[in-house]
Amino acid sequence: MSQDHTLNPEVMPSEPEKATLEGKNKFLGFWFFLGGETVLFASLFGTYLALQGSTMGDNTPEKLFGLGLVFIMTMLLLTSSLTSVYAIYHMKNNDFRKMQLWLGITVILGFTFLGFEIYEFYHYIHGYEFTFRSSAFGSAFYTLVGFHGGHVLFGLLWIVTLMVRNAKRGLNLYNAPKFYIASLYWHFIDVVWVFIFTVVYLMGVI
C-alpha cells in the first residue's frame, strides 16, 4: 500500500516528528495543550499560595518538609528529562534501539520518583497525621503535588504503551510524532516540578 511506503521512507528525514501533516498538527496541537496545562497548574499554584498559611495547627510547611528527600526526587526527575532528550536525539538519528533504551531509563527514573512521592505522602499521613482533610493547607498541598504526581503516572503509562506497541516494528513517520509529544509532555512535567520544588518546598522551609 502506498500509505506504508510514505510512512516508511528509505531515508528518514531529520525531523521525523514533523514530516507529515498529521505530525505537524500533533506537534502544534500539543504545544497548545501544554499552554492550557500551564494555566491549569498556575491556578493550582495560586490556590496553594493563598492557602499555605491556613495550617490550622502545627503541621506547618517548616515542620513537615525535609529538603533531603525532595532533593533526591528533584535530581531523579531532572535526570529523567535529560535521558528523554537523549531518546529524542536517537529518534532523530533513526536509531530505534538506543531510543528505546533511553526511554526505558527515563521510565525507571520516573517510577522511582513516584515511589519516593508515595513514601512522602505515606510519611506525612502516618507520621504526622497530615491529610487531605486536616486543613486548607493540606487540601492545597495534596491537590497541587498530587495533580503533578497524577501527570507523572499518566506520562509513564503513556511512554510504556508507546514503547511496547512499537517494540517490534521500529520507528516510522506515523509513530515518531507520538514519541516526540510524549517526550514534550515529560519535559513539561519536569518544569512543573521545578516550580513545585521552589514554591512549595524551598519557600516553605525557608
List residues near other proteins by CB under 8 A: 2-3, 7, 21, 24-25, 28-29, 32-33, 35-37, 39-40, 43-44, 46-47, 50-51, 53-56, 132-140, 143, 158, 161-162, 165, 174, 178
Cβ closest to other proteins, residue 79 vs residue 139: 139
**Beta carbon of residue 143, minimum distance to other proteins (angstroms, whole number):** 7
Q: Using an 8 Å Cβ cutoff, are 110 and 152 in contact?
A: yes
**Beta carbon of residue 131, minimum distance to other proteins (angstroms, whole number):** 9
**Beta carbon of residue 87, minimum distance to other proteins (angstroms, whole number):** 18
* Of the candidates 139, 155, 138, 137, the residue with the CA atom closest to the CA atom of residue 193: 155
Cβ closest to other proteins, residue 138 vs residue 204: 138
**Beta carbon of residue 68, minimum distance to other proteins (angstroms, whole number):** 28
Cβ closest to other proteins, residue 93 vs residue 161: 161
- Please give the grid coordinates belonging to residue 195: 516550580
Cβ closest to other proteins, residue 29 vs residue 66: 29
Q: Using an 8 Å Cβ cutoff, are 138 and 130 in contact?
A: yes
**Beta carbon of residue 141, minimum distance to other proteins (angstroms, whole number):** 11
Cβ closest to other proteins, residue 126 vs residue 165: 165
**Beta carbon of residue 62, minimum distance to other proteins (angstroms, whole number):** 16
Cβ closest to other proteins, residue 6 vs residue 198: 6
Annotate the chain with three-state secondary structure: CHHHHHHCCCCCCCCHHHCCHHHHHHHHHHHHHHHHHHHHHHHHHHHHHHHCCCCCCCCCHHHHCCHHHHHHHHHHHHHHHHHHHHHHHHHHCCCHHHHHHHHHHHHHHHHHHHHHHHHHHHHHHHHHCCCCCCCHHHHHHHHHHHHHHHHHHHHHHHHHHHHHHCCCCCCCCCCHHHHHHHHHHHHHHHHHHHHHHHHHHHHHHC
